[in-house]
Structure 1
Amino acid sequence: MELTTKYADVFNSLSKSESNKLEKIIIDICKQRMLLTNDRPSFCPLCGCTEAKFIKRGKLPNGKQRYFCSSCSTRFVCDVHSISYKSNQPMEVWFKVIEDTIQLKSIKYTAKELDLTDITIFRLRHKFLHALEILMQEIDLENLIEMDETYVLESNKGTKQETRLPRKRGETALERGLSLQQICCTFACDRSGNVIAKCTGRGLTTQDMMNRSFAPHVSSRSILITDKGKSYRKLVERQRAHWHIIEHVTDMDEVIHINTVNQLHDWFKRIYKSYRGVASKYINRYLALFSFIKRCKALEISEIKSLLYSRIKERQTYVTNKQVYSEHLVTAI
């Protein structure tokens, strides 16, 4: 009773902003605890049965609950095929990595907070980014769609270069213009707040590159608003979209414009610069992260974590450490 009175006195001594901040922290911890304890499976990962009884069969050394399916007599852990599957790190560590990634914290910062090595945090972060990239493939754009591309300099960060001299930070490309040293990042957004960003290739984007990257996301008979670049022609013809070309600022009005996607470019360049360069082979993962952050900017961090955890848990997003370094890389484009 004395302890409760003590905490009540401390809480009452806080200012309104401090009490609101403390309340949000407590709610965030409670929601995270609910996610950690509510791990009962809804279906068997082997037989797919949803009506079977899932009986608890002990826990693994890392604390993960193990279940037994009464339909096919299979034993499996609660997070089978998700990003934390076969991971020795507890879910609290995964939530911290996801939170810091969304808040654009550095790997060294997270490693210091969790007292883990940089390479461990790097692998955890990229497993999450790999899963996030898969989730962002499900987004569809419709009605009024703005599209435009921007370019960043190729970066071989973390990879030893033997074919050329190392380039110091801030230096320009060796070749002028849109050479193969420039990475094309194309952004597309509709008026519903959906955002998709992808690396469409190196140098000047071709019609095949644009069609291959965005045809699965652009709904048919939409209105596509772009600049006068010719790389969108094949995409427009395939999706039977209405193509509105902006050749000059006088062609824009309150409805037909590309201001939104240009603002995305400015925001992306600022964030990209704060990372002090991202290895080009991983840039699609970070573009998926930027797109997700922009799409969920109105949500609280606890709501974002709950949304991500529930969606990732429903899908087979498990990748090995080896796949982190080999799958979904820009070098394969």
Structure 2
Amino acid sequence: MQHAKWIRFIAQFAQLSRRQRQAGIALLRGNTPQDATVALLESVAQPHLACPACHSSHAHRHGHAHGLQRYRCVPCGRTFNALTGTPLARLRHKSLWLAYADCLLASASVRQAARQLNVHRNTTFRWRHRFLTLARTDRPLRLHGIAEADELYLLESEKGSRHLARPARRRGGHARQRGISSEQVCIVVARDRTGQTLGFVTGKGALTQLQLQRCLLPVMDHDVLLVTDGHAAYRDFAAEAGISHEAVNLRTGIRVQGAAHVQNVNAYHSRLRAWLRPFHGVATRYLPNYLGWRWILDARRIRSPEALLKATVGAFPHLTVT
């Protein structure tokens, strides 16, 4: 290659993304992107390798298939690999998984990721929810100190369903009934002052005390101070659970009463709504995945594609409890 052409070729590397540059370096070193992905996944699975059928750890190597080391279980004879029983089992294009994890961390839409990776949009849609199946479960175990809770409502959506239970809406549409109704889905968000956040899809219609007992009671410390607005369901839940409770009367314009306010959880609501807007509607059945995805981004516990790929198979970074 002529020197001038070489200079022009090297200059184009500045236009590549970080993931593309890393893939280029891997190729120059003789490692393909698929090799790097497989090596990462097998290093995660190796310490806990066990037969998914009988859970025995007594297995021996049994050849390779689709780039992965296969194993045969000695007691039951079943064969398996590092991805058997994980959300990534039977998915193809392993060489693109780290690049797709980068797309998730960048909140790329299904079509944006498909164009970037040169695959069909159905593939990136399938990957989105496979990648989030376990990653969304990486949440704080308890809320401590002062915890704020508030609810928000999204219009119920059957996006992607072949058979709708109601007439289709055009361009998102609007609820036919005024106020809170069964056309809207309630999401309760609880957040303590350390930033630990939990989101729950409670169901259609207005929030109830029983829904709060099911969602919040298992994750609240017994000595927590729960701060909410004046909704009666929170008051009744706190009284029944024996939890200290303070309500802020937002209707009268009082937003802060000393340390009692719901500014943190309302700010989280605002970020969540703004983040959901570019997706142009989220199917209600997938809302828990999106709440987990938003927590991954907001908490910044998973900051690299490698860490997200590990979380996809259940290997989470250590959760510090404060």
Check the 8 A contact 2:149/2:188 in 1, yes or no: yes
TM-score (norm 2): 0.77
Q: For each residue in 1:193-220, what CA deviation from the matched residue of structure 2 results, as whole angstroms up to 9, or x when unmatched?
A: 2111121111211111122122232222
Alpha-carbon distance between aligned partners in 2 of 1:24 and 1:112, rounded to the nearest angstrom: 14
Alpha carbons of 1:171 and 1:70: their partners in 2 closer, same or farther (altered >3 Å)?
Answer: closer
Q: Does the aligned pair in 2 maintain the 1:183–1:201 contact within 8 Å?
A: yes
Aligned partner (choices 140, 143, 156) of residue 141 of structure 1: 143
Provide the secondary structure at the position in 1 that maps to 2:87.
Answer: coil
Q: Deviations over 1:18-69 (max 9, x none)?
A: 69x8699549987x8766314141232355566x5x6433211x21221345
Extract unaligned runs of 5+ from structure 2.
27-32, 316-322
Match for 2:285: what amino acid?
A: K
Deviations 1:245-294 (A, max 9, x none): 11145462563221111111111111221111111222222122112211
- Tell me the CA shift for residue 163 of structure 1: 5.5
**Which segments of 5 or more consecutive residues in structure 1 lack a partner in the other structure?**
316-333
1:263 and 2:267 correspond: yes
**Cα drift, residue 84 of structure 1:** 1.1
Between the aligned residues of both structures, percent identity stands at: 24
Match of 1:45 in 2: 51
Q: Give runs of aligned pairs for residues 162-181 of structure 1, distance below 5 A.
A: 164-169=166-171, 171-181=173-183
Determine which of 62, 66, 85 is the counterpart of 2:70: 66
Root-mean-square deviation (CA), in Å?
A: 3.6
Q: Does 1:129 align with 2:135?
A: no
1:1-333 alignment runs, 5 A limit: 26=22, 36-38=38-40, 39-40=42-43, 41-42=46-47, 43-46=49-52, 48=55, 55-60=60-65, 62-68=66-72, 75-87=79-91, 89-136=92-139, 139-160=141-162, 164-169=166-171, 171-237=173-239, 239-248=241-250, 250=254, 252-253=256-257, 255-296=259-300, 300=303, 302=304, 305-314=305-314
Tell me the equivalent position of 2:320. none
| Whole-angstrom distance in 2 between the partners of 1:28 and 1:142 | 46
Residue 22 and residue 98 in structure 1: after superposition, are their counterparts in 2 closer, same or farther (change >3 A)? closer
Contact kept, 8 Å, 1:211 with 1:234, in 2: the verdict is no
Aligned to 2:136, what secondary structure does the other structure show?
helix
- For the residue of structure 2 that corresponds to 1:158, the secondary structure is coil
TM-score (norm 1): 0.75
Check conservation: 1:84, 1:94, Cα contact below 8 A.
no
